[in-house]
Amino acid sequence: MILAGIVLLTMGLIIVTSILGKHLFLRPIPDDLLMVGLLNVAVIVLPLAYVERMRGHITVTVTTDWLGPRVLGALRVLGAVAMAVFFGGIGVMVVGRMPGEITKDAYYDGVLQIPTWPMKAVFGAAILLFVARLILSMVDGVRTMLTGEDDIPPSHPNEEV
């Protein structure tokens, strides 16, 4: 979360500096939109593991409110497996292309010729952390299925359980 916040502040700094450079010196930061777009990937994927830990994903509970904790544990396992397969597959495909891009010295078209692989490495690392957190959620869901006890984490980090 802290790293995603730092990246978000960096994005804002790039935009403000580019606007000031354009209006004061008639020279914006080259490839500013490309850099902000690439950093946006980190802002989106880095907090995924934290959001999963806090069970902060958007959920619709109209039909699940009346279910018991064991069934909810089974549904949590099913959801975590589905997300792990989906996001893990995307992560594997993105990271799998990195060696070829590093070898070819691939870069985004622009003045700065920014290489393509660094953001893919950040994406892969963030997805790895997310999948690891999903595995822990699966284990927690199985425990809930077996015992019927559910340890719901606080919805806010400073809130007491």
Residue 158: pLDDT band (50, 70, 90) is: low
Rounded distance between C-alpha atoms, residue 123 and residue 43, angstroms: 10
Domains in the chain: boundaries: 1-46, 56-150
Rounded distance between C-alpha atoms, residue 61 and residue 115, angstroms: 43
pLDDT digits (tens, 9 = 90+) for 93-135: 999 999 999 999 999 999 999 999 999 999 999 999 999 999 9
| Cα angle 86, 87, 89; round to 5 | 70
